[in-house]
Amino acid sequence: MNDGKERALKKLKTARGQIDGIIKMIESDRYCIDISTQILSTLGLLKKANLDVLDGHLRSCVSDSILEGESEGSEKIEEIMYVIDKFIK
């Protein structure tokens, strides 16, 4: 497992805990703004985890393909661009 995936895994486990907390907040009929704030916090953490995965992919899979002169290097770059386009929308 590359460093990016390890960092993402930690963030995802934290997000899972936050989601469990949000569910309890809703079940306890907590204040809507407090719930929304926690949801936004979790979304931010998920986005950061995604960036960690992409960073690891660029530094390992994509980099290796390009350095080895494989034709799939350009395909991997296109994959990344597709994901980035989805990420910023």
Number of CB atoms found within 10 A of residue 52's CB: 21
Q: Write down the pLDDT at residue 78.
A: 86
**Domain holding 36: CATH number?**
1.20.58.1000
> Which amino acid would we find at residue 85?
D
Which residues, 6 or more positions from 58, have their beta carbon under 8 angstroms from its beta carbon? 80
Q: How many domains does the chain have?
A: 1
CA–CA distance, 45 with 32 (Å, rounded to integer)? 20
Tens-digit pLDDT profile for residues 8-41: 999 999 999 999 999 999 999 999 999 999 999 9
Torsion of CA 72, 78, 79, 84, to 10 degrees: 150
Structural domain that includes position 19: 3-88
| CA angle 50–51–57, rounded 5-degree value | 95
Confidence of residue 89 (pLDDT cuts 50, 70, 90): confident
- Is the per-residue pLDDT at 61 higher than 90? no
DSSP string, 7-56: HHHHHHHHHHHHHHHHHHHHHTT--HHHHHHHHHHHHHHHHHHHHHHHHH
